Chain A
């Protein structure tokens, strides 16, 4: 193989490497004990260069969220690597943001050839519980990471092949379900060992030199393809702002700002300057200020992968995606900010980047997703008296339209690997009856291409004393926006009603202590549309009407498609109505939806004024100031106010 030109050998080694990581992943998945690993596949395996880049990632099993994450912090943290070592950590704040919340346990094993490390085998798994204030360890209202469970700074779980019993004992003493957790870790350790024997076999067959150079060639190839794909975006600077409509402990929004710079060679910079200070809830992103990080680059990675059909997904892709992360901000949180529920921020950052891209290549990426990630679980006393927790679906929302297609209904790209729990399985395992799990008609963002439909999940509790947890709700006020004349979608909603229909609670409350007969509704919004709705093919509108997903009234009012009383398409009336509609709406603007429109009209300037003052304050008091000052502003001026008025008011307040 040594005489092979690169043109041939890259693809050969890419396959041989993939065989190793696939085998690792299947071993973990088959041997793992917890539902999380087996069903939701929240785990990953990879081979890592000595510099910490993931050069081989499985392509048919395992999670996708951490593909490309730099492993250098863990490599550097261990100063005396020896054969047979396995290092472990789950702590964002001692791994420079390599790990992003405590439930993710990272493990790393060096592979030595002739006394030198040729590469590393790596794996992570989402541990169902690592201790902390609530079962499952994640509570969006946590304020400090110390509430979120056991922190394990980088250390050796195995030294030269021998397990470190002290670490094992501490781990097991600090989580709910210690045996299951250790079973999962054991499966990972076995897969790391297996990877070592496979890599050594390759070295024996092809030589260390060939393997070493192939690792980098595989990364280089993906980098080149990603650059080519990203260079299809016209170079320039594009700005966008996106919000979490509240921060899960107060009703003050969290603002994310982005300046996307694209260079002619496809190099992209994502500058998050202007994003809010870290918040007093668990949605912070502890990224350690890394220059490359997949979780803050999701949309650009997906864009490159979509454009490059045959690209190997590995860390090469994010080499050309550079981050600028303001310190002690929500996108670069510092100890001790809580971060357990960071996934909802990742979803909004996905929309944020799509927005910046839509400013220049509208329709070539999806419009905003209606997505939240309302992970719902039920905790109850089973017949044997034991407390049991059962996962009861994640409620997401529709994706935006784009890339020549209508949006995906019911789920959105950042969450689209998640499967639902079959009703028949759920009702066998928990005291619950599901009334509906279905699409919401008329909830889509309209457009020439329409967004995906939202989803509604309705279930009834069948015994007293059931705790329903449904965290990570968003887009209840700020809908998924539409692009290029496409419309914003419907919002999400949630409420609890007693059996007689009387509403007992509404809104985004994460925790509900339910009684028998309580009926809980959790709904996700639609995705945004692309292009003018009255330019949508009448046949497509008519198809959605036939399917009962768009009402006759909406077809007429929004799409300008008119039906005769007998249900057939009225071509003449449709043409007339569309003629009247054309010109009423511009095809080059975003539609933000009523909630965000109103908020921005009243508060955007004032909010910015507060933000600019807040970031000048010391770390711990920034968000506190921001929330208090903004609340005071809103109370004084419920109708909103100008920047100048806000500045005057803040001057007074700060005096």
Chain B
């Protein structure tokens, strides 16, 4: 276990209450505990995929130690996990059936018609989560305005439901056309099925997320139904374990929007947590930047793990959310922290194409056998981690994590084998592969910024994950970023982000009308209903948490008639209540002008959706670190490393021996248990009092 001590050990008492963040990954489960005055403990335990809650419980035991839960007045805990995502990717969820409007049995088969990679004859749509044999059509139809065209045929509905239950469905998803405008048929259908099959879980698309686009909405409802049993199992096993440890607080889950929510309410729609791990990481990056005094910062986040480099964007202190993300090739309409990934991480394979050109990824050696240096396979497939060892960024003397010893010899052998084929020495391959990985990440970063449409005068970077601190500064150079922050615990930032997350909820009401013909009374009732939902939800969520403030903000998605896309316009509640059309229109024209450089004041304007975002802010214990006891850092060791194609002499420090406020000049290497930070020449590293390392480009 690692413990970072806070500077101030004054009131509030460290034992008053604590926040635990859990990140259940495929191989390891990270846990972070922040006590009442900001001291942080961190553990890493092997995951137990068969029963994922077990590794969480083991980690909690290690965190709170023999003194047990009694030492804290309360323990809050937030869980981010890949359960939902893996269930979806591996197609290991529940057998579910689906009821759709007559004429649309192929909704889940056809999807949006296109295929992922049209130039490849091997490309196919992702396999449907609900097979066609478990989909039935139902006689019913709503018009586009939500009025009834064909009434729901109750007996035919029951027949269809009975058929798919007989065929083995353990749950039913209902997605009727235009249910986002009026849930009347979906709700009635659920009632009817409930009477006949009282124990059968039934999900209706209008409740999950009432937005137009039948495939996307139906997909969300389907994912919920499909992954729910796995999530429920986690919650059940966790609850039993916590009870026996006298931890009585309700578990919360991290959401893909970077916030937290009670797992009990998340169980209704587990699809909101599909992307919770990466989202918590980006939220964690925002929080460590805040610790370092970077309020409202514009940041790029670079998380380099075993198989990929994930890039996120934080604008004015807040992670950028998107409603157009794809997860496992499926569209996700929920607002999600936008992260782009490229297949280059520590385990990415270095190989050569038939022309002798060296490539990195996207295939990975995986945790087993791992890179050649682990010595677990005679195949000697070189990975990026081997390259780090060969160029001297990593040292074979140090253990990786607790147990593994790396073999430089094996890395060199693997690199030479490849090198012989393309006529480059082993060191050249290693250095070249690292430069290729940097170029790949820089390209993805550039593409991400333009894709997100972010235009800030200056970006800084937060680099984390196993290899983020190694390559952060080098990637930053390629994308013209001059400042890089390395968090105190770069390997556990998702757990940290979960522990420190605020409460974030998103709500949506369909309007889908031209501004001039919207009935103000109807609009007012939609506004009432969405604010009531947001308020009620927030009220439940803050229960028992040290909340310092709450806020609900509103926005309208608007567009010119016939336009192919919406513009989100933030509007305060009072303005919405007054519903002065000229004010709303002016706000839209201004927003359109600002984003696209023109406004068509004579054109008709539609309001597509009314959105609300509810936030509960948690008390922030500003994490602080007092650094090493020693007045002087131990005299650094030194070793020769290859940097940008040349051999240079780098000083080597231990992170635990660095004093707050000390400045190190590159080229230098800072080693700590779970990661290594590289300070290239031309860069200066400052040990910030928050415990972070801040790298600046000199000059």
**Is the beta-carbon distance between B422 and A438 smaller than 8 angstroms?**
no
Contacts of B443 in A (CB 8 A): 15-16, 18-19, 22
B453 at the interface (CB under 8 A from A): yes
Tell me the minimal C-beta distance from B353 to chain A in angstroms. 6
Rounded to whole angstroms, the CA-CA distance of A411 and B600 in the bound complex is 37
Tell me the minimal C-beta distance from B386 to chain A in angstroms. 16
Contacts of B114 in A (CB 8 A): 411, 416-419
**0/1 per residue, B553-565, Cβ < 8 Å to A?**
0000000011111
B609 at the interface (CB under 8 A from A): no
Tell me the minimal C-beta distance from A169 to chain B in angstroms. 18
**Is the beta-carbon distance between B447 and A433 smaller than 8 angstroms?**
no
Contacts of A38 in B (CB 8 A): 564-565
**0/1 per residue, A9-35, Cβ < 8 Å to B?**
011110110111011001100110111
Tell me the minimal C-beta distance from A142 to chain B in angstroms. 26
**Is the beta-carbon distance between B131 and A403 smaller than 8 angstroms?**
no
Number of A-B contacts (CB under 8 A): 214
Rounded to whole angstroms, the CA-CA distance of A384 and B561 in the bound complex is 11
Tell me the minimal C-beta distance from B343 to chain A in angstroms. 11
Interface residues of A in 393-442 (CB under 8 A from B): 396, 402-405, 408-411, 413-420, 422-425, 427-429, 433-439
Contacts of A419 in B (CB 8 A): 112-114
A602 at the interface (CB under 8 A from B): no
Which listed residue (A1, A60, A64, A428) contacts B512, Cβ 8 A?
Answer: A428
Interface residues of B in 473-491 (CB under 8 A from A): 478
**Is the beta-carbon distance between A4 and B432 smaller than 8 angstroms?**
yes
**Is the beta-carbon distance between A16 and B214 smaller than 8 angstroms?**
no
Rounded to whole angstroms, the CA-CA distance of A598 and B629 in the bound complex is 93
**Is the beta-carbon distance between B132 and A548 smaller than 8 angstroms?**
yes
**Is the beta-carbon distance between B440 and A424 smaller than 8 angstroms?**
no
B643 at the interface (CB under 8 A from A): no
Given contacts A15-B443, A409-B110, contact A4 B121 (CB under 8 A): no
Tell me the minimal C-beta distance from A407 to chain B in angstroms. 9
Contacts of A19 in B (CB 8 A): 442-444, 446-447
Contacts of A417 in B (CB 8 A): 114, 118
Contacts of A310 in B (CB 8 A): 353, 359
Question: Which of B88-96, B99-107, B572-580 contacts its partner?
Answer: B99-107
Contacts of A434 in B (CB 8 A): 103
Contacts of A22 in B (CB 8 A): 443, 446-447, 450-451
Given contacts A35-B563, A547-B133, contact A438 B106 (CB under 8 A): yes
Question: Which of A233-241, A277-285, A299-307, A610-618 contacts its partner?
Answer: A299-307
Contacts of B526 in A (CB 8 A): none
**Is the beta-carbon distance between B442 and A420 smaller than 8 angstroms?**
no
**Is the beta-carbon distance between A35 and B447 smaller than 8 angstroms?**
no
Tell me the minimal C-beta distance from B355 to chain A in angstroms. 5
Rounded to whole angstroms, the CA-CA distance of A150 and B258 in the bound complex is 51
B439 at the interface (CB under 8 A from A): yes
**Is the beta-carbon distance between B446 and A422 smaller than 8 angstroms?**
no
Chain B binding site: helix, strand, loop or mixed by DSSP?
loop
**Is the beta-carbon distance between A64 and B103 smaller than 8 angstroms?**
no
**Is the beta-carbon distance between B105 and A438 smaller than 8 angstroms?**
yes
**Is the beta-carbon distance between B435 and A34 smaller than 8 angstroms?**
no
**Is the beta-carbon distance between B132 and A549 smaller than 8 angstroms?**
yes
Tell me the minimal C-beta distance from B157 to chain A in angstroms. 18
**Is the beta-carbon distance between B564 and A35 smaller than 8 angstroms?**
yes
Given contacts A19-B446, A547-B132, contact A365 B432 (CB under 8 A): no
Q: Nearest A residue to B356 by beta-carbon distance? A: A7
Q: Nearest A residue to B517 by beta-carbon distance? A: A383
Q: Nearest A residue to B560 by beta-carbon distance? A: A33
A570 at the interface (CB under 8 A from B): no
Indicate the size class of the contact surface on chain B.
35 or more
Contacts of A6 in B (CB 8 A): 357
B681 at the interface (CB under 8 A from A): no
Given contacts A403-B121, A427-B144, contact A26 B212 (CB under 8 A): no
Tell me the minimal C-beta distance from A195 to chain B in angstroms. 11
Given contacts A23-B446, A436-B103, contact A302 B432 (CB under 8 A): no
**Is the beta-carbon distance between B645 and A403 smaller than 8 angstroms?**
no
B246 at the interface (CB under 8 A from A): no
B177 at the interface (CB under 8 A from A): yes
**Is the beta-carbon distance between B115 and A411 smaller than 8 angstroms?**
yes
Rounded to whole angstroms, the CA-CA distance of A35 and B559 in the bound complex is 12
**0/1 per residue, A23-61, Cβ < 8 Å to B?**
100110011011100110000000000000000000011
Tell me the minimal C-beta distance from A357 to chain B in angstroms. 11
Given contacts A8-B424, A313-B119, A439-B106, contact A422 B113 (CB under 8 A): no
Which listed residue (A10, A366, A416) contacts B357, Cβ 8 A?
Answer: A10
A228 at the interface (CB under 8 A from B): yes
B358 at the interface (CB under 8 A from A): yes
**Is the beta-carbon distance between B121 and A11 smaller than 8 angstroms?**
no
Rounded to whole angstroms, the CA-CA distance of A302 and B115 in the bound complex is 14
**Is the beta-carbon distance between B110 and A410 smaller than 8 angstroms?**
yes
Which listed residue (B118, B215, B562) contacts A413, Cβ 8 A?
Answer: B118
A183 at the interface (CB under 8 A from B): yes
**0/1 per residue, A305-336, Cβ < 8 Å to B?**
11000100100000000000000000000000
Rounded to whole angstroms, the CA-CA distance of A390 and B561 in the bound complex is 11
A100 at the interface (CB under 8 A from B): no
Which listed residue (A7, A435, A455) contacts B424, Cβ 8 A?
Answer: A7
A224 at the interface (CB under 8 A from B): yes
**Is the beta-carbon distance between B440 and A5 smaller than 8 angstroms?**
no
Tell me the minimal C-beta distance from A31 to chain B in angstroms. 6
Tell me the minimal C-beta distance from B610 to chain A in angstroms. 16
Tell me the minimal C-beta distance from B117 to chain A in angstroms. 9
Given contacts A8-B428, A15-B442, A221-B357, contact A424 B645 (CB under 8 A): no
B436 at the interface (CB under 8 A from A): yes
**Is the beta-carbon distance between B115 and A5 smaller than 8 angstroms?**
no
B213 at the interface (CB under 8 A from A): yes
Contacts of A436 in B (CB 8 A): 103-104
Given contacts A15-B436, A16-B439, A403-B122, contact A60 B447 (CB under 8 A): yes
Which listed residue (B123, B133, B354) contacts A225, Cβ 8 A?
Answer: B354
Rounded to whole angstroms, the CA-CA distance of A183 and B564 in the bound complex is 14
Interface residues of B in 179-216 (CB under 8 A from A): 180, 212-216
A146 at the interface (CB under 8 A from B): no
Tell me the minimal C-beta distance from A422 to chain B in angstroms. 4
Q: Nearest A residue to B362 by beta-carbon distance? A: A310
Tell me the minimal C-beta distance from B444 to chain A in angstroms. 8
A360 at the interface (CB under 8 A from B): no
**Is the beta-carbon distance between A4 and B645 smaller than 8 angstroms?**
yes
Contacts of A313 in B (CB 8 A): 119
A388 at the interface (CB under 8 A from B): yes
B109 at the interface (CB under 8 A from A): yes
Contacts of B180 in A (CB 8 A): 424
Rounded to whole angstroms, the CA-CA distance of A415 and B177 in the bound complex is 26
Given contacts A8-B424, A458-B103, contact A437 B110 (CB under 8 A): yes
B537 at the interface (CB under 8 A from A): no
- Chain A interface (Cβ within 8 Å of chain B)? 1, 3-8, 10-13, 15-16, 18-20, 22-23, 26-27, 30-31, 33-35, 38-39, 60-61, 64, 179, 183, 186, 221, 224-225, 228, 301-303, 305-306, 310, 313, 365-366, 382, 384, 388, 390, 396, 402-405, 408-411, 413-420, 422-425, 427-429, 433-439, 455, 458, 546-549
Q: What are 12 A-B contacts with C-beta separation under 8 Å?
A: A10-B357, A12-B435, A13-B439, A23-B447, A186-B597, A313-B119, A366-B121, A384-B604, A396-B113, A403-B121, A411-B114, A422-B215
Q: A26-B450, A64-B118, A306-B120 are in contact. List 9 more A-B contacts (CB 8 A).
A: A4-B432, A7-B422, A22-B446, A61-B451, A365-B121, A424-B213, A427-B143, A427-B178, A428-B212
- Chain B interface (Cβ within 8 Å of chain A)? 103-106, 109-110, 112-115, 118-125, 131-133, 141, 143-144, 149, 177-178, 180, 212-216, 352-360, 422-424, 428-429, 432-433, 435-436, 439-440, 442-444, 446-447, 449-451, 453, 478, 512, 561-565, 596-598, 600, 604, 645
* 9 tightest A-B CB contacts, nearest first: A35-B564, A8-B432, A436-B103, A19-B443, A416-B118, A22-B447, A15-B439, A547-B132, A427-B144
